[in-house]
């Protein structure tokens, strides 16, 4: 894997969140943000711009961030808000990320790869049935395995709201999976 | 509703999620490209000195987004207003996750007092290290002009200063908000009123108006001035419906009896 040139960012206030913090977050979490936007349904065509936007906001907010809290839910919160604005105000095309999954690694067998791709396609189709707010909670809890209080904090919503969204998301996701399987005639 | 009542996902659904192909990492060339563009953007914001005239008052992303032409690609819809207010946050304004903590009710509040970049700090009239002096307590905490139609003009505005947002005002603006935030964090909520009012007078269209209002609402809540806090939060939510500070303001309102 080619190495990235170290990036030098302009100075930010030194009291909380140094340039080193930002550069490390950028280097280590870029792909997480990229995947988070994909999970939120952002098309690959738009994902680069929105990833840029997420990190620009992270840069701005880092001095006031509570770095004691888990980083990824915090990053996901930015991705969620930006994806939400992107979708709501601009009516951009959202797509099934599975349509654009890059060529698979050659390590697993072809059969395993096919099964995994089919599973991912089904997950993505079912996620489409969820509103973005439900989808964000579902992804963070069921896929990223974060605890609900962390998710509520990251999305700036009351804990009970987070639970409510998760319950609705589970119901819808489950119903969607069953429906899609029936349409395909698979068990 | 708590997790106990949620139960677990059905076994086949959980198995499906486990079996799904994880999304691929971002391509390395994309990361490099974004990194370079980001570095240039941040440097440009810092070097810009003042926002362009056409952008100087676009402090409301929602409003700007709804009217911006779409000719420059999808991100331009988001990027333009963000560029405008970027300097706000580069000097460490309370916002986002940090602000969510900073303007929470006192029991949960985490407040950081930030300083700004040296180049901007050099223009500061009121360094962040100074607490709010000179009769800081305001009896009324006036509604700033842009939050209401009939408010007195700024009494202590520096001569020849435009009321539009200017990057050169960032340091002084931030100093006032820092003083207020520090007072609030130290349990001296009444002392936070003076800097907030001075900010409202000197910078009625400043860059940190949104942050000032969110902070003021929290101060009013902690002082038990609930009616004022409610009316002010109503105005805030009308004026900044898409604000990232919205959740924090709503949390402060919910903390009122």
Q: What is the four-CA torsion angle of B78, A82, B104, B102, rounded to 10 degrees? A: -60
Q: How confident is the model at residue A170 (pLDDT cuts 50, 70, 90)?
A: very high
Residue of chain A with shortest Cα separation from B72: A49
Q: Choose among B38, B61, B74: nearest Cβ to A56.
A: B38
Which residues 71-90 on chain A approach chain B with CB closer than 8 angstroms? Answer: 74, 77-78, 81-82, 85-86, 89-90
* Percentage of the residues of chain A whose pLDDT score is greater than 90: 34
Could you read off the pLDDT of B142-151 as tens digits, one per residue? 333 333 322 2
- The CATH code for residues A109-187 is 1.10.10.10
Pick the CATH number of A12-95 from 1.20.1580.10, 1.10.1740.10, 1.20.1600.10, 1.10.1040.10: 1.10.1740.10
- C-alpha A64/C-alpha B195 separation (Å) is 20
Judging contacts by C-beta atoms under 8 Å, the chain A residues touching residue B94 are 64
Could you read off the pLDDT of B82-109 as tens digits, one per residue? 333 333 333 333 333 333 333 433 333 3
Judging contacts by C-beta atoms under 8 Å, the chain B residues touching residue A98 are 21
- C-alpha A132/C-alpha A148 separation (Å) is 17
| 0.90 surpassed by complex ipTM | no
Residue of chain B with shortest Cα separation from A84: B242
Lowest mean pLDDT among B25-39, B126-140, B219-233: B126-140
Residue A153 contacts B where some CB pair is shorter than 8 Å: yes
Domain spans of chain A, in order of start: 12-95, 109-187
What pLDDT does A118 receive? Answer: 86
* A149 min Cα distance to partner chain B (Å): 10
Q: Which of B6-15, B57-66, B76-85, B158-167 is predicted most confidently?
A: B6-15
* A16 min Cα distance to partner chain B (Å): 8
Q: Which of A60-74, B30-44, B154-168 is predicted most confidently?
A: B30-44
* B194 min Cα distance to partner chain A (Å): 23
What pLDDT does B135 receive? Answer: 33
Could you read off the pLDDT of B188-225 as tens digits, one per residue? 888 888 889 888 888 888 777 888 888 888 888 888 88
What pLDDT does B47 receive? Answer: 63
Burial B184-220 (b: 16+ CB within 10 A, else e): bbeeebebbbbbbbbbbbbbbbbbbbbbbbbbbbbbb
The rounded mean pLDDT for chain B is 59
Q: Is the pLDDT of residue A87 over 50?
A: yes
Task: Answer yes or no: do A60 and B89 touch at CB < 8 A.
Answer: yes
């Amino acid at each position: 894997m080619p190495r990235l040139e170290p990036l030098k960012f302009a100075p930010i206030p030194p009291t909380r969140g140094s340039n080193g913090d930002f550069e490390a977050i950028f280097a280590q979490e870029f792909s997480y943000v990229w995947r988070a936007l994909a999970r939120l349904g952002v098309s690959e065509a738009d994902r680069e711009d929105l990833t840029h936007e997420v990190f620009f906001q992270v840069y701005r907010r880092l001095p006031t961030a509570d770095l004691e809290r888990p980083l990824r839910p915090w990053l996901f919160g930015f991705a969620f808000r930006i994806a939400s604005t992107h979708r709501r105000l601009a009516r951009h095309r959202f797509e099934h990320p599975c349509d654009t999954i890059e060529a698979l690694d050659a390590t697993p067998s072809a059969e395993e790869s096919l099964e995994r791709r089919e599973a991912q396609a089904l997950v993505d189709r079912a996620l489409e049935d969820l509103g973005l707010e439900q989808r964000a909670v579902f992804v963070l809890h069921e896929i990223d395995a974060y605890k609900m209080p962390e998710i509520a904090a990251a999305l700036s919503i009351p804990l009970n709201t987070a639970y409510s969204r998760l319950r609705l998301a589970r119901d819808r996701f489950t119903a969607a999976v069953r429906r899609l399987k029936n349409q395909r005639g698979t068990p | 509703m708590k997790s106990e009542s949620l139960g677990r996902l059905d076994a086949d659904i959980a198995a499906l999620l486990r079996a799904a192909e994880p999304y691929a990492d971002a391509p390395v060339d994309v990361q490099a490209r974004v990194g370079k563009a980001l570095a240039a953007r941040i440097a440009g914001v810092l070097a810009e000195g003042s926002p362009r005239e056409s952008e100087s008052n676009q402090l409301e992303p929602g409003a700007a987004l709804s009217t911006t032409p779409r000719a420059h690609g999808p991100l331009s819809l988001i990027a333009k207003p963000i560029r405008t207010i970027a300097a706000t946050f580069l000097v460490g304004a309370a916002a986002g996750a940090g602000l969510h903590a900073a303007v929470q009710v006192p029991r949960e509040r985490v407040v950081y007092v930030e300083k700004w970049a040296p180049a901007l700090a050099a223009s500061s009239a009121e360094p962040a290290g100074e607490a709010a002096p000179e009769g800081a307590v305001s009896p009324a905490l006036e509604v700033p002009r842009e939050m209401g139609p009939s408010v007195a003009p700024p009494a202590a505005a520096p001569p020849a200063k435009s009321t539009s947002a200017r990057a050169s005002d960032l340091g002084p603006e931030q100093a006032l908000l820092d003083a207020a935030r520090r007072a609030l964090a130290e349990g001296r909520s009444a002392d936070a009123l003076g800097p907030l009012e001075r900010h409202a007078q000197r910078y009625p269209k400043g860059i940190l108006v949104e942050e000032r209002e969110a902070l003021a609402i929290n101060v009013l809540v902690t002082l038990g001035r609930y009616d004022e806090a409610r009316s002010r939060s109503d105005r805030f939510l009308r004026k900044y419906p898409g604000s990232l500070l919205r959740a924090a303001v709503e949390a402060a309102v919910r903390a009122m009896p």
